[in-house]
Amino acid sequence: MPRLRPSPIWITTLGAVFFLASSQTAGAAPFALGTGVGANLGCIPEVTCPGGADGGDNESDFGIPGPNNGAGYVSVTDVTDGFADAHFTYLAQANASFGQLQAGASGSYDLSSDSTRAAFAFASATDQLTLTAPGMAGNGTLDISVLLDGVLQSTGGGGAAGFAAVTWGQSPDAFDQANDYHLLQFATSGPHGPAPSGPIVLGPVSFVWGQPFYLSMILAVGAGTPVSSLLDCHGGDACLTPVSGTGSGTADFYNTLVLTGLLPKDANGGLVLNTQFSSASGTLYSLNGVQAVPEPGSLLLLGTGLALMLQRRRA
């Protein structure tokens, strides 16, 4: 079974944007939300570029977590970031709730010499689920149906990329290498190709009837100068190519990423239509996805959109 690589692949990805990945799960709570946005602004005078002994992109990254302990709607633009970079116009925004993940980024650049500029957005949700049904015990499997329909495009020398993943297992840390996962990557250039559209079925996800397990969803996007992957370079960093001239990129998955079904099966592969779902967050899951989202309390839950992904197995 494929495994997530240790947390550095996620935490170092996109530089500081993903620092929230560790903080949102550090308390080992049975449920958690996380959002963040940021940008790679190259070596502008206001920021000293790090040396990057790990072989990373050596660029000046910054990140902004969601307003409510790393969750909730968050956005950043070239006007609000405080750096006054005249060479990059961009927007990044993210939001998360249980059953909904949203992330979008777009950026246009005008560079007189080779450098990188890229905006990033990130959203995640982790929940503890328990599935029960009369007479059911032992092992079962779960098929997850999703609808993914976003915009991924570029002009000039620009680029855009993203990834989405679902992880499951006994660790509340979505990035724990002990958890299993399905991963989908997409980009305007490079090895991954365009994002799929239409219904996607993930599975089988293994579980034990009556025993809780953690289900996590992750969505991230980046756009600006060429970015062919958010995960594949320098041990888990984004693959950014310095360029000059003008161009733009857009990775807009802020409106349509919809969880459309959770179909449990018995050990023989038969559907168990009378399954009852319970969750640590209080979210009401069903065979058709999510019935309702709980009152937000201290979390800011905004927007429309939804989560999860296609299967991409790694050795």
The range of the structural domain enclosing residue 96 comes to 8-292
User: Model confidence at 45, in pLDDT bands (50, 70, 90)?
Assistant: very low
Local structure of 274: helix, strand or coil: coil
User: Model confidence at 61, in pLDDT bands (50, 70, 90)?
Assistant: low
Q: Within a domain: residue 311?
A: no
Q: Within a domain: residue 184?
A: yes
Q: Within a domain: residue 86?
A: yes
Exposure string (b/e) for 49-68, b if CB count within 10 Å is 16 or more?
eeeeeeebbbbbbbbbbbeb
Q: Tell me, what amino acid is at 263?
A: L
Is 37's pLDDT higher than 90?
yes
Q: Within a domain: residue 301?
A: no
Q: Within a domain: residue 55?
A: yes
Distances (CA, A) of 109 to 59, 243, 252, 273: 16, 10, 17, 52
Of 30-39, 44-53, 62-71, 178-187, the range with the lowest mean pLDDT is 44-53
Alpha-carbon distance of 229 to 21, in angstroms, equals 18
Is 190's pLDDT higher than 80?
yes
Q: Within a domain: residue 194?
A: yes
Q: What pLDDT digit, counting tens, does each position of 306-315 carry?
A: 222 223 222 2
pLDDT at 43: 61
Alpha-carbon distance of 89 to 72, in angstroms, equals 24
Which range, 9-13, 166-170, 193-197, is most confident?
166-170
What's the domain count of the chain?
A: 1
Q: Within a domain: residue 183?
A: yes
Q: Within a domain: residue 304?
A: no
Average pLDDT over the chain reads: 78
- Helix ranges, the chain (H): 8-11, 19-25
Closest CA relative to residue 199, chosen from 289, 284, 127: 289
